[in-house]
Structures are given as structure tokens and as C-alpha cells.
Structure 1
Amino acid sequence: MNRWLTLFGALCASFWLTAVNAFAASDDDTPRPAMTVRVDASNTAQWIFQVHETIPAESGPLRLLYPRWLPGFHGPAGDVVQLAGLTVRVGGQRLLWTRAADELHGFDVQVPEGAHAIDVHYQWLGPTKGALSDSLQSRDALALTWPSLLLYPSNRPLAEMEVASRVKLPVGWSWGSALRASAVSTQGEGWVEFQTETLETLLDSPVYAGVNYRRVELDPPGTARPAALHLFRTRDGGTAPSDEQIDTHRRLLQQAEKLFGFRPWRHYDLLLADGKGFGHIALEHHESSENSYDGDYFADWAAASRSRDDLAHELTHAWNGKFRRPRGLEQLDLNSPTRNELLWVYEGLTQYWGQVLAVRSGLVTAEQMRHDLALTGARTADLPGRQWRDLQDTTNTPALASHGTQKWWDWTLGYDYYNDAALLIWLDADTLIRERSGGQRSLDDFARRFFNGQDGNRTPSVYGIDDVVAALNAVEPMDWRRFLRARLDHRMPTTTLDGLARSGWTVAFVDKRTPLQLASLNAKKPLFSMRYSAGVSVDAEGSVVGVNWASPAFSAGLAPDDKLLAVNGRAFTPERAEAALNDNRSGDKPLQLLIHRDDEFRTVALDVRTGPRHPVLQRVEGRPDVLAEIFKAR
């Protein structure tokens, strides 16, 4: 190539880059108007919300996106079919939009010359009650989640756009959120105006509202970065919390701060809904958490854990997942797929700390947590699907999952990176560090080192597996990469629960359910498990909920959704099924099960000689109770 042409091209390129950089600098220095969004959420009779947005825009093509890859879901959970009636206008002129061919959650519009903003209006059509298990919508309370309500422009990162938001709630309802009402907030007719936030922060700040509301401060007055509990219940009240139950939430915050050493927020708001008919929700945010229960959060406090450790789990995410984020899960927008290969840290380590903090604070008792660990341990120790699918691959589940239900859960596997990772990796790592250091160090030291930060610093810090390995090595030098990969890449149906054994406990089986096991049954949908004997689980009406792969029930041809009508010639009850298992220990009385599927009836014989088998944790003789030390409040 002619060197003069090369030089000329270089000069032109240099001039073009200089011009672009100058434009970018000028553009960055120019204040940009904020988006505005107004949501009328007062129609709770039909669950139709009216949404109006004003979005700054310049002339030319513009793509509006409806969020698809939602934070905390780790997959394409956004449902654009709930958006309807979309219109786009400029100064009263209606603009035509077309759905993007390469992104069905995208809408393309051509902004006319001279325009500086577009007005967007549509309806959000809430699902019919019961359609989603993770929805809070009732005559008494609602959860307003911004990712399901907003369209946003694709041409700017979420953190660079500011939004002024306003919500209309049913008259007389109170609300709670990490958002703060502005100084000019209007309360007339249910409208609440919030302070301007970045779009990233707004999307991460749900609003709970309801007729029966109580705010509880979790810190002394004057605390710099305070936390509060926002409690929503049904209008008839349900079970009111005791002072001691409220205090456990204060201790939860204290124990978390002692573990991590700082608060990565301006303020923190625990949104807790507990009432009959409320859907189950457990979702993390940076400055708030969402938890909803079906009226049993406070009512069954002494009887069973009732997933109360979910609250500790979501709080832990303020440090793990929000402040420190795995590489691949930092999101500049909500429509680009995430990479989930580190979910065993994001969710698995969070699950471990959630369980530990729940016991340290008193949200659950050590006995209740041991019951939960026994269920996880029994499942994890003998898992047929592990022979073809390793723990690492299950981190792809949320990106792969449809809205259907898995039928053969122990063969297909699923969200194992939660409980299995907590048990196989993080309890194992904690007990190993304690053993190797003679009890001088633990995973608590790793938490301080790995999540090192300053009070009030919300700027996310990205980590990879190298950072995890380095922090573990700094606490206790050894080949941690090999340790982690051996557990993540393991493909064998049986697994040794080394961490549990090192903690002084082992999974055993008893032939009669303990009082805690009976109390832990879901009162509304009790599940009778013969998983570790016949290999089948049924509900109170005999509907088959699950069949273990390669179990006696599987070999006999049973499948999920079959109906178990009778056992040994008598109508099915859990008690009769358990008695039949006991009667066949010698093998002379095989179980005769009458099964109904579609319009056919058939009798199936199961020669199961184990008797009933229900998992419990038992102490390992001669080993110290390290689990008790892990659970001890700091």
C-alpha cells in the first residue's frame, strides 16, 4: 500500500477519533433529562395497571425493550405477553411501532425530526390469581415490581439513565420500599411520588403495599445506614408477631454485619408479607429483599422452619450477588443473556450463609436446620442424575428451564447449585478450614476477606473463580481449585458427605417420623414421602408427586400424576401405606397398590423390605459437634 495513502488514512482516523471523543466528552457533560414513569396500580379488582412513560429521545430509530433476563431469576423470566395496548406518541402524533425481528421483547419506533421525547402508554395485565407462585396479589396486598412494568431505551446503560417515578395505590393502602418519597410527594387519591433514581436502582427496588402495614426499625435511632422491616398482613390480621419474633430480625442484621463487617447500602428495607392467600416470594435486591408467605411465617414459628431462612438468604445477597457480583452476572441491560457458571457461589454460598445466619439469629432453631440438612443430605448422597449431569452443569438450569414442571427431578436434576452446593462445597470448605487450622480459622474469615468493603459503598465489585480460590488460599493454603472442581465436576450417582461427617453428623434413617418431621409437613399441601423406601411421594389425596429414578416404584411403571387409590385393598391413607411397608419387612406381604391413570385402573405389586425410611441427622460418635460451633451466635 502507498505509504502516503497510509499516512493520509491515519491522519483521517486520528481526526475522526478526536472528533468523536470531543463529542462524547461534550455529550457526557450535558445533563440529560430524566425518564418519567407513572403507574396506576389501583385496579386490584382486575389486576390491570395503567403505565405511562416519557422517554428522552432524539430523531431517528429507537428500540424500546421490555425486560427479559431478570436479576435474581438468572434466566429469561420476563413475560412480555403481560404488556398490552401499547401506543407511542410525540406531541399527540401517534407513531407506528414494529416488534423487533431479532428481539421479540423489543419494539422499534422512528422518532421524527425535532422531537426530544416520546410518550409511551400501555397496560400491564396481571396474571389471574394463582397463575404464578411467585406473585403477591390479593385484596389485601400487592408487590409492584418495576421490571414487569417498564419499557426502556436500548441505547444507554441502565446505570446512566435517571428516572422520576410515581405510583397510584388503592386508597388507604400503605407502602414500603427501598425507594424514598420525594419532598413534593402527593398523597391525594393514593399517588406517591418517589425520589429520582437511576434506572438500574429503580428496577431493583420493588414496592410492597397493603391494607395492614407495620414498619419496624431494626437499628437504634441515628444509625447511619439503617435497616427496617416492613410487615404486610391480611386485613383480618392473622398471626401477629411477638416482640421476641421481631427481635430475631434485629439479631439477623447484627449477625450479618458481624460476619461481613460492613453495610453495602444507604439503607435497607426487608419487605415481608405474611397472609393467607399470599404467594411465596423470595427475591434479592441490593437495598431491599422480597419475602412472602402464605400465613405461616409467624404462626408455626416453634414447630418448623417454614423456609424462614429465605429471609436470611436474601439479606446475604446484599453482599454476595449485589455488592460482589460473579463475572457474567453483571448486567448493563436486562435483555442480554447472563452467564451463570458461578451460581454455585452466588446462590450456593448465599444458601450456606443464609442457613447459618438464620440459626445464629434465632429465625430457626439448630434442630429445625438439622432437619432441613438431613433432607438435603439424603437426596444429595444418592442422586442417579449425577452420573450424567454434574453440579456445574446445573447452573445452566434457569437459562434452560421452561415454565413446565420437571417430572423426574432426581434424574434430570435442576437447581442443585443452591442446597447441594451449600452442603457439598461450602460446609465442606468450612469444616476443612476449621480442621486444618485447629479451630483457629473458618469460612467466617473468608467472608471478611472476600467481601471486603466500606459502609455505604454500593459500587459492584466483580469476581471470578480465581478470586474465590485466592481468598480461600489466604485463609488456609491448599489446592482449593482442585477441591472445588472435584465437587463441581463430579459425575457419580453416590456422593460422600465429607463436610457433614467432619461437622460431627451423618444422615441416618428412622422408620417412624419424628415430631419435627410431622410438624414440618405443609399443612395445606402435606406430602407423604416413601422416597427412600418405595421411591414414590404422594400428596394427601394420593396423587403421585414424584417417582425416584430406578426405584421399586419406577420399575413397576409408576409415573408422576398417577393416582394411588388403595393399598392392600383398602383406601389409601399415609398411615396405611406406612403400615404396609412395615408388614413386608420379611417379604411375605408385598404392597398391592391400586393405581388410576386416565381411564385405566391397575394393581401394582411392590416388594419393598426396608420398611419406612425417613432421613434424620445423627451424631457421629467420637467427633466434636462442629456444626454447633458453626451455628453459635457471634
Structure 2
Amino acid sequence: MIRALAAAALLASVSAPALAQNSAPAQTAPYTNTIPDARDIPYPGTLTLDIDATDTGRGIFNVKETIPVAKSGHMVLLYPKWIPGKHGPRGEIEKLGGLVIKANGKVIPWKRDPVDVFAFHIDVPAGAKKLDVSFNFVSATVGDQGRIVMTPNLASVQFFSLSLYPAGYYTRRIPIQAKVTYPDGWTASSAVDAKVSGNVYTYDKTNYDVLMDSPVLAGRHYRQIKLTDRVSVETYADTPEELAATPDQVQKLKNLVDQAVKTFGVEHYDHYRFLFSISDELGGIGVEHHRSSEDGTGLGFFTKWDEKVTSRNLLPHEYTHSWDGKFRRGADLWTADFRQPMRGSLLWVYEGQTQFWGYVLQARSGLVSKADTLEAYAGIAASLDNRQGRTWRPMGDTTNDPVISPRAPKGWVSWERSEDYYNEGLLIWMDADSVIREKSGGTKSIDDFARIFFGGRDGDYGEVTYTFDDVVATLNQVVPYDWHKFLDERVNQVSDRAPLKGFERGGYKLVYTDVPNKSTMRGGGGIDLSYSLGLSIGTKGISGVMWGSPAFDAGLTLADEIVAVNGQVFTADKLRDAVKAAKGAKEPIKLTVKRGSRYRDVAIDYHDGLRYPHLEKISEGEAGLDKLLQPK
């Protein structure tokens, strides 16, 4: 033992100077970006994709791709990184496997870029006319790996996960044709038409941009619901029973298209397909495309219609994006390829006004009743009005959230904020509508803005970009006002309160009563006490604590589990009853909470009873908000 210690000491004395001399890292060569920038020139040749989507048991897509080349030498192949509709670098590069690139029948070594890991460098050998690329996309099989896109009965085929493209070109200048093999007996739907031979769909030749914007929904159980000669709901489900839409439900979907076209004046597509999945196995989704949308809900959309009210906003929201976000797109969000970063400074228009129109159109079409729409508005208004994060973080800064934290869970949403441009954008446009009505003496409304801003040639599905000043100019075209100041204050400045004047000018105000709000009621044993105790309970315990609330002041967090209420075993009903009993009393509500293996007692000094948000009418007769929600 003594000898060992002595040897260790000797080693330390010898090693220390050597380590000191070499403590500075060796100089490395500076990184040189050898990835060519995209240019607006045609690509010399047509890419072809051959996708095997039959391995539904393991969720593996096998891809063969042919990429023509015009010359030898250095070349870069890119995997789509910045995904439209996700507003951030959300390409699932981690799921790409087995990449092999060949030319003239021989394997070409590839090297991943050390900075942009979505880029692969190769050297094209002399005489090569094309590259033969093969890889697989190993999709998620459990929820913590990402969205599940393949099940035994359904598949969501997103081409941006299943292709590479050559750097140096605008992607809209790269021709491509795709072929997909599905399981026997399946049907597939996409905005790009296809020739079908058995279980093989060969899609029409198009450009890379359009194909990436035209995903496929495929499955075993399928029903097409025609809404007009140009619009259909391509419906797929886990079981055939889930496809049973009633005539009344179909009529409400037809009303949605009718009301949208009357609102915007034209249709910016040759045809539009809702790619609608009803499944508890395929991952839920809501992503916009120009001539389609990916819309995924849980079971019961048609069969449990009265229980699924809140899920029905998905279709009008994504449909509105065909005009707002796809046809009209923020200038700093438009990019030449999928490598160039997207900037979302105008997402309060792209998503915020789409959120606004989604709720308006659900009411105008009867897809959701006016009463339920008002309840949803109240829930949105209360959430943002009680969000203390607004005192330090402007709403406009939340347009960076898709990059900062792409929908990752946050512990203190009411303080950190999270993509508030959706719902606070809705409130801003509600406010704008009320100002237009007021300044025009009721002769104009936000509908006039929509017909100007989102109008144009019917059937044109090109893209028209806009800036902040373009939005201001169009509003001034509707009614003169200091719209620049109006928007700047609401988008770029902090505030103590949410912009709720639109409801008040529209004849309603936000109030709180002890009657639960239907849009925020929680099933499965959950309970929403956000505006009383300042906490909500989900199926797995505390799901939210409002910053600055009584629950916050008592030290509660999402990590805590409530095990007892006033000395009795916890249930949601007992907690609700305790809040009611404490109204006007002196004794606090006593909770026993568990965090890990530790228990502690917590006293919440709250005595104002149950509080749930609602909109209360404050004007006589038909008010502005009533008119806004009326069918056209």
C-alpha cells in the first residue's frame, strides 16, 4: 500500500508539468463553409424518389433516390432542415439511417458537414451522370421518439423526411417525381395527383417545393367526403366505424368551405384536400399546406361529436392557412431552400390571424356553436390576461419560440410565455376588427381587410410575401387610423393586461363566475383552478401553476403531487369542494403534497371561491362580436 501511494505521488509530480504545458487546445483550421448558396437557376435534370412504405410493423421507410448530375467534382446533398409550418429547424435528421451513395455502380464516400449536420459532402467521379442514393427513415415507434407516423393501419408520408436535394439551387427550380409503394389494400391521398397501379402510386412530376408541401395520408380504412367540386376531406381512421360522419356533420363541413370562400373572395388552389386522420395510434397533427392540410385527431371526432367540440377548431384553422401563411407569407419567413433559416417576426399575422379566422369560421359554419365559441374566447382571454410573463416579455418575442424551444415542455408557461403569437394574435385582430367597425360607423370590418389582403386571382397558388408596413398599409386602405402605433404597442411592447378591448368594443366583457367554462373543463379526473388557486390538475397530477398565484406563493410546482386535502385523501372533487368551503372563511386550504420521497404540508390562504372565465354581454341588441360570428 505504501509503495503504491509513493508511486502515485511520483507519477503526479512528473505528470503535472507536462499537463500544464499542453493545457491549451491545439489550434484547428478555421471552418470554411463550402456549401453553395441557393441560386434561382433550373436544376439540370429530374430527381426521382422510390419509397417503400410497407414495413408498418417496424415503422421503417426505405428510400431509393436518383439525382442527375451534370459535372464531376465537389457536391453537397442536403436533408430538409427548416420545415415550413413548423417555423424552425425541425427536420428529423436523427432518424436517417443506412445512407449509401453510388455513381457508376460504385460507392462514393460521403462526409457530414461539421457545422451543418444536415449537409453531406461528396466528390462526384468523372463520367458520372447520376447518383443512386439509398437510405431509410426509421420513424418513431413510441411517443418519446417523436410523432408516430406509421401504424399497422395508417401512414403519414412526409417527403421532407424521405429525400435529399442538391445544394446550390432554389428548391422550386428542382424537378422531382415520386413513387410510393403502400401495403396491399391501402388507399393514399395527396395534393399531388398520382397514377395508381395496384399498391404503387406514381405521383405527377412537380418541383421539390411543391412535393415537400404535399404530404400523403394513407391507410386501410378510408372515406372521401366531397365538400365542393374542388375541396374534399380525405378521411382515414383506425377502424371503419370512425368514418361514420352524419349528413348534418358533412353539411357543417360544407358550410366551412362556403363561409371561407365568401370571407376571402377567392380560392388559392386548384383543389384542396384535408388529409384527416382519426386515430389513437397515429400521432396527432395540425400542419398547413397550400393545397392540403394534415389534420389528425383522436378517436370519436364523428362518433362522439358532442364530446369533441374543442377538436373541431383544427379544420378551420388549417384550412385558413391556404390563404394566410401559404398564399400570403411573411417576407422574412420565405426562403429559397430548406437550409436557409426562417424568421418568424410576422407569425402574429401568419398564425395569429389564422387563429382569429379559425374561430370565426367555426362559428359562421356551425361547425362549433356561437355559445361554445364565446366560451373558447373567454378561456383564451383569461389565460393571457393572467399571464405575468407579459410584464417582461413582449408578445412579438414569442415568435422566436419555434427556434428557442420547439414546443418542449416548460415549467412556468405563465412566466416564460410560449408561442403566444397564436392566441394573443387572435386578440389583436379581434381588437382591430372592433376599431374598424367603430371608425367606419359599422360599415366596414376585418372582412374588408381579408378580401384585400388575401384576395387575388382565383386558383392561383403562388406565394405573395408581405412586411409589417404592408399590413399597416392594407389596414389604412380599409379605414384610416394610426395602425402602425396600434400594432407596435400590441406586438412589440410589454403590458400588464392582455389586449381585450376588442371584446369590449364588440359588446362583451371578460367576467369570472363559479360556473365552469366548458372549453377548459378537463376529463379523466382533471380540474382547472387556474383563476382561483392558480393551479390545474391533469391525469398525472399538477399540470400547471400560475406565476404569482396563491398556489405559487405557497411554493407549489409541477413536481408536486397533492395527496391530501384538509386531512382527507385527495380527489379533484374534494379539492374543488375545499375551495368552495374556504370562500369568506378564515382558515386556509391545507394540502399535503409529495415530491419524490418527501412529504410536506402546504397552506393556501385563498378565500374568493371558484372562478371560471366567461364572456358577458354588455350591450343591447346585436353587437360587433355578434355580427362578426354571423354566417355570411
> Normalised by the size of structure 1, how large is the TM-score?
0.90
Give the SS at the match of 1:64. Answer: strand
Alignment RMSD, CA only?
A: 1.8
Does the C-alpha gap of structure 1 residues 623 and 304 become closer, same or farther in structure 2, counting only changes over 3 Å?
A: farther
Matched, 1:44 2:42: no
The number of aligned residues is 593
Quick check: 2:583–2:608 contact (8 Å CA) kept in 1?
yes
Quick check: 2:96–2:138 contact (8 Å CA) kept in 1?
yes
- Show the counterpart of 1:286: 290
Unaligned runs of 5+ in 1: 1-23, 221-225
What's the CA shift for 1:355?
0.9
Give the alignment partner of residue 548 of structure 1, picking from 537, 546, 571. 546
Give the SS at the match of 2:305. Answer: coil
Q: Distance in 1 between matches of 2:446 and 2:227?
A: 26
Matches within 5 A, 1:203-218: 203-218=212-227
- Show the counterpart of 1:7: none
Q: Distance in 1 between matches of 2:483 and 2:56?
A: 52
Give percent identity, aligned residues only: 36
Q: Distance in 2 between matches of 1:439 and 1:116?
A: 66
What's the CA shift for 1:459?
1.8
**Which amino acid letter does the alignment assign opposite residue 601 of structure 1?**
Y
**Which amino acid letter does the alignment assign opposite residue 528 of structure 1?**
I
What's the CA shift for 1:522?
5.0
Give the alignment partner of residue 68 of structure 2, picking from 48, 53, 56. 56
Matches within 5 A, 1:66-81: 66-81=79-94
- Show the counterpart of 1:8: none
- Show the counterpart of 1:270: 274
- Show the counterpart of 2:347: 343
Question: Deviations 1:181-240 (Å, cap 9, x if unpaired)?
Answer: 13xx422xx2211111100000000100111101122214xxxxx111101112252362
Quick check: 2:277–2:295 contact (8 Å CA) kept in 1?
yes
Q: Distance in 2 between matches of 1:49 and 1:277?
A: 18
Matched, 1:461 2:461: no
Quick check: 2:49–2:65 contact (8 Å CA) kept in 1?
yes
Give the alignment partner of residue 128 of structure 1, picking from 138, 141, 144. 141
Give the alignment partner of residue 191 of structure 1, picking from 166, 183, 200. 200
Quick check: 2:563–2:569 contact (8 Å CA) kept in 1?
yes
Quick check: 2:301–2:308 contact (8 Å CA) kept in 1?
no
- Show the counterpart of 1:82: 95
Matches within 5 A, 1:113-262: 113-131=126-144, 134-182=147-195, 185-187=196-198, 190-220=199-229, 226-238=230-242, 240-262=244-266
**Which amino acid letter does the alignment assign opposite residue 485 of structure 2?**
R
Structure 1 moving runs of 4+ over 6 Å: none
What's the CA shift for 1:494?
2.3
Question: Deviations 1:475-528 (Å, cap 9, x if unpaired)?
Answer: 1111110110111123123235100111111111111325x35xx6454x5531
Q: Distance in 1 between matches of 2:407 and 2:342?
A: 19
Matched, 1:332 2:331: no
- Show the counterpart of 2:9: none
Q: Distance in 1 between matches of 2:308 and 2:226?
A: 26
What's the CA shift for 1:540?
3.9
> Normalised by the size of structure 2, how large is the TM-score?
0.91
Give the SS at the match of 1:308. Answer: helix
What's the CA shift for 1:53?
0.5
- Show the counterpart of 1:33: 45
Matched, 1:388 2:392: yes
Does the C-alpha gap of structure 1 residues 297 and 219 become closer, same or farther in structure 2, counting only changes over 3 Å?
A: same
Quick check: 1:385–1:493 contact (8 Å CA) kept in 2?
no
Q: Distance in 2 between matches of 1:191 and 1:493?
A: 58
Give the SS at the match of 2:603. Answer: strand
Give the SS at the match of 1:104. Answer: coil
Q: Distance in 2 between matches of 1:513 and 1:299?
A: 25
- Show the counterpart of 1:510: 513
Q: Distance in 2 between matches of 1:571 and 1:512?
A: 25
- Show the counterpart of 1:316: 320
Q: Distance in 2 between matches of 1:557 and 1:334?
A: 45
Does the C-alpha gap of structure 1 residues 534 and 71 become closer, same or farther in structure 2, counting only changes over 3 Å?
A: same
What's the CA shift for 1:403?
6.1
Quick check: 2:398–2:417 contact (8 Å CA) kept in 1?
yes
**Which amino acid letter does the alignment assign opposite residue 431 of structure 2?**
D
- Show the counterpart of 1:575: 573
Q: Distance in 1 between matches of 2:212 and 2:554?
A: 50
What's the CA shift for 1:454?
0.6
Q: Distance in 2 between matches of 1:40 and 1:137?
A: 12
Identify the range of structure 1 (39-48 vs 58-67) with the bigger mean alpha-carbon deviation.
Answer: 58-67
Unaligned runs of 5+ in 2: 1-38
Give the SS at the match of 2:184. Answer: coil
**Which amino acid letter does the alignment assign opposite residue 66 of structure 2?**
T
